[in-house]
Amino acid sequence: MHAPEKIEPKGLSDYLAVMSRGVFEPGLNWQVVDSKWPGITEAFEGFDAYRVAGYTPGDEERLMADARIIRNRKKIEAVIHNAGEMLALDELPGGFTGYLRSKGSYQELVKDIRSRFHFIGESGAYHFLYTVGEPVPPWDDWMAAHPDFRAPRH
């Protein structure tokens, strides 16, 4: 499996984009997500967390009708929920980045991420944290700790 490309997040939209990719990828060939990603990004207004968090049921219907995206209602709802959760955490001292660094261990952070954010599993949390430059265990160690995980095929 190849490692995702790391980024240096410049704001919540970068964090939301990385997390949202992790929401859309499970159950799909990553090439499908890659091919649709530009349309998904446009449909979600560049993953502007303030805009996405304010989406209404009408916006959900607009997205469900948009052929540029992966039209899975639960995943669309998860992106909207996750944007709101990021905004709430960003209001805390230290902001969203402070939240990511507030837990005592990687395991504690992943447990908290999985409880707060929708459609983010163990591997999704690992890839999110890795991609945004937060500390994660080496991949081989993570895989050894998760023997039932099957890496997606490309």
Q: Across residues 10-36, what is the average pLDDT? A: 92
Percent share of the chain, pLDDT over 70: 95
pLDDT at 154 over 50: no
The domain ranges of the chain are 12-145
pTM: 0.92
Give residue 1's pLDDT: 44
Tokens of 12: 């919540």
CB 107 within 8 A of CB 146: no
Q: What share of the chain is helix, strand, coil (3-state, %, to 5)?
A: 60, 0, 40
Q: How far is CA 60 from the centre of its chain?
A: 18
pLDDT in tens, 131-147: 999 999 998 888 888 88
pLDDT in tens, 122-135: 999 999 999 999 99
Four-way CATH pick for 12-145: 1.10.287.3510, 3.30.310.50, 1.10.3720.10, 1.10.340.30: 1.10.340.30
Tokens of 129: 């944290």
Using alpha carbons, select from 107, 115, 117 the residue that is nearest to residue 146. 107
Q: Across residues 116-120, what is the average pLDDT? A: 97
